[in-house]
Amino acid sequence: MPSIKPVERKYMTTTVEQFLETNYSGFDSTIYRDLSLNLTKLLTDGPLSEQERFMNLLAISTTLENQDFMKWAAQSLKDLGVEENVIRESTEVAGIMGMNNVYYKFRGYLPEEVKENYSRAGLRMQSLMKPVTGKANFEMMAMSVSIINGCPVCISTHEKSLTELGVTADKIHELARMAAVTKGLSTLKKTKLIF
């Protein structure tokens, strides 16, 4: 992947604020302020690079089926100079991980004495072997999606893989925080339908 130039924090803060003003017009509660300030901090500061932030935001928002976030994250990646195939995989990881999360959550619910009856998934997962985004980036997005889908088995597996790849605990924790805040804002947006 080509190297990405870092974006100035002031520019990114303005970009986040513009997105929120456009998509959350009329929200002014303390809950909205908490969520919007958290998103601004996550996207302007912290251990993740700009590319990592928006790749994960794209994977998370695709999982949540949040079109506003998806379009913004994809456009932000384009603005950063990220290649189209990387952006595409950042959306599609939600599909393959959605499949895995559902299957492995099923296995996780089973009592130990019957798990041997379901020892082989038998599902094709070749895309996990040589992702175009690179192994560490793919694993980070897989972790983000698994957090949203609530699969303990996948979360544990991807945390271990990320640690083995040298991804710091700070970055892994940031993925969980980003998933949490994006979920919160996605849920909050739905309240607009009744008020």
What single-letter amino acid sits at 152?
P
The C-alpha atoms of residue 66 and residue 183 are separated, in whole angstroms, by 9
CA quadruple 42, 4, 15, 133: dihedral sign: negative
Q: Please pick, among 154, 162, 179, 185, the residue that the annotation labels catalytic.
A: 154
148 in catalytic set: no
Question: 78 is written with which tokens?
Answer: 């384009």
Nearest alpha carbon to residue 150 among 91, 108, 95: 108
Q: Please pick, among 151, 162, 178, 181, the residue that the annotation labels catalytic.
A: 151
154 in catalytic set: yes
- Specify whether the CB–CB gap between 92 and 63 falls below 8 A: no
The C-alpha atoms of residue 123 and residue 125 are separated, in whole angstroms, by 6
Coil/strand/helix, residue 134: coil
The C-alpha atoms of residue 73 and residue 51 are separated, in whole angstroms, by 10
SS (H, E, C) 40-106: HHHHHCCCCCHHHHHHHHHHHHHHCCCHHHHHHHHHHHHHCCCCHHHHHHHHHHHHHHHHHHHHHHH
**Enzyme catalytic residues:** 151, 154
